[in-house]
Structure 1
Amino acid sequence: MFKKAFLTIILMASSALAQQGDKQAEQRGSDKLDIKKLEQKYWAAKDDDFSVVQNRRYVKAERFYLTAEGGIPFNDPYSTGSIFGASFGYFFNERWGVEANYNSANMKDNDAVDQFVTQYGAIPDHNIFKSSYFLSGTFVPFYAKMSFMDKSIIYFDMGLSLGVGSVNYEIAKNTGNESKNAFGVKLGIFQQIFFSEHFAVRVDLNNTWSNQDQAKYYTPGSALPGGGTAGANTLGSKTINDTSLMFGLTYWH
């Protein structure tokens, strides 16, 4: 009798534990992460690939912008000074846009020219960058958010610009500089940091290439500072690379 009662208690306890286990399993199953829902919420399917869907606080798509910038050239072997410019552009979407840019330079001879004059008593043959205008296509592959001192979130993107236009320059001459212009190609890298819906800080690293005429500083037959007379004036043409670093403020409409 006692043995039968003991077996009955054991069976009842086992049944209760089994029922409790089934309930816990059902609860765990309901708490499982639904991968399909997660993919649908944060990823957009494109064929067999997936791309990230980001919640952009400051959008560029279908918006015009105007940028005012100032900066310096840093690879000119003969000149130093400052460059000021403006850009006007439009983004079709978050990746692609178009931009018109104009830069004007205020240049003077650098220390290398002064040293050359001191050493040789003559001014070296060189060209002086004056201004440029370009029409470029822009592509923005990078967009990111970063924390600043755990106090605020900074939104920024980085892109490339490729364009064609004209470079205006002067050939330095002792009788007066000669103004010229040449077809140019531009490749730029830019980054902008948004701090409101309508304003962003922008930094540009611009490279331009143009095929410029070259000529001697002293005209043929003129007396040279060290004695003698200058010979032939023409030096042919040469591809010139101008690089500038620009800082500016962008207004987004």
Structure 2
Amino acid sequence: MLQAKGVHLSRGTRQALRDVSLTLEPGSLTALVGPNGAGKTTLLQVLQGQLAPDRGSVELDGAPIRGQRSRVALMPQRGEIDWHFPITVAGMVELGHRSGKRHGCCDVAAALQRVGLTELAGQRLDQLSGGQQQRTLLARTLVQPADVLLLDEPTAAIDPPSREQLLRVMREVCRAGLTLLVSGHDWGTALDAYDRVVVLDGSVLADGPPDTIRRTLGAVSMGNHRCG
């Protein structure tokens, strides 16, 4: 179980996170939504231990995240990767395994099969579509020795079929016992596929099942946020 307790964090003169408390149960699939600049990426980095909060704490199974960061894998946004780097899809995925002493929920070959990229294993990164790039990043995350996966906008700028395929893979991973927290934008009815929705805008505005969130914020409010 991954927990954030009363997390506060400032970035420069701006307070990015204010008293954020969050508990992620094993095997759960949670959506993290909010407007641009809401602190979603910052929160993921705090949960993974990349950033230390000014106040509050992050614990995994009751112990501080420091010292067990390898158990929490963070999949970055696609725009943060140099897709012209001279490496194949399989080579990119293998980098995830090299970050730990053991494989995650599957090895490289199984991860490629799970995300539907087996036939593209030898393809160079710069020859991939946006959806294939996202699936490559997910496969790299799956081979990391982690129990919790934090995915930063994995469905951004890809077509609906690719989004649906990614969501199916995420569901399978949760059924295997891993915990997923997924940030994103322009969710709409896609929120129905998640167990839970956390609405963030510096602080947690709402937290609950998708239908409860809709009743709390209202369809118009969610549309105005254009969560991202």
Task: Specify which structure has the higher proportion of strand.
Answer: 1
Q: Could you say whether these structures have the same fold, taking a TM-score greater than 0.5 normalized by the shorter chain as the test?
A: no
Task: Specify which structure has the higher proportion of helix.
Answer: 2
TM-score (norm 1): 0.17
Q: Highest Rg: 1 or 2?
A: 1
Taking CA–CA contacts closer than 8 Å with sequence separation of 6 or more, which of the two structures ends up with the larger relative contact order?
2
